[in-house]
Structure 1
Amino acid sequence: MTVYIIAQLKFTRRELYDRYQARFMGVFSKFKGRLLVADEHPVVLEGDWPRDKIVIMEFPDDAAAKEFQNSAEYREISVDRKAGADAIVLTARGLR
């Protein structure tokens, strides 16, 4: 079953987040995921959304998503993401 990782970010130290972002695709491309959305200007249709960016990644299954999330390579660069942005990160199972 397809699994999505969804991140909603509020930048706190943009220079650190930018350093993370510059290294992200080099790490991400080693895994079985697809980057579907990385938007710093989403349009809010309803409600209050006090964030700056949304990221949606697709993985073929839960194991692939966890392999990426728990990899040494991602943990290394995620230090800058965590220092540079307040994030809500979750997984969601697809319908298939």
Structure 2
Amino acid sequence: MTSGPYSDDTAPLAHSDVLVLDYLAALWAAGDDLDPDLRDELMTTVADYIAMRRAAGGEPADDPSLILRRLGAPEALAAAARRGRMPAHLRRPAPLPA
């Protein structure tokens, strides 16, 4: 058995994954006062958006910072959800650059 932070079947996260997880954690914290169902919907929608954009290959896969900037501050997304509307760019993702 391996001692330490990693077992034999896990690897350290890539820096790009850490950026995404930090963003999602900040979004979770910003939506602390949301109804649990709305918070779950917001988290799922944002996580799916990030995954879709990363898989599309428009931006470098190892640098999701453009995607995260396009999403805006986690606090702004939570505030929009609080007002009862999901931001339009999450409903209709911006077209990928040619």
The TM-score normalised by the length of structure 1 is 0.31
Higher relative contact order (CA 8 A, sep 6+): 1
TM-score of the aligned structures, taking structure 2 as reference length: 0.31
Q: Judging by fraction of residues, say which structure has more strand.
A: 1
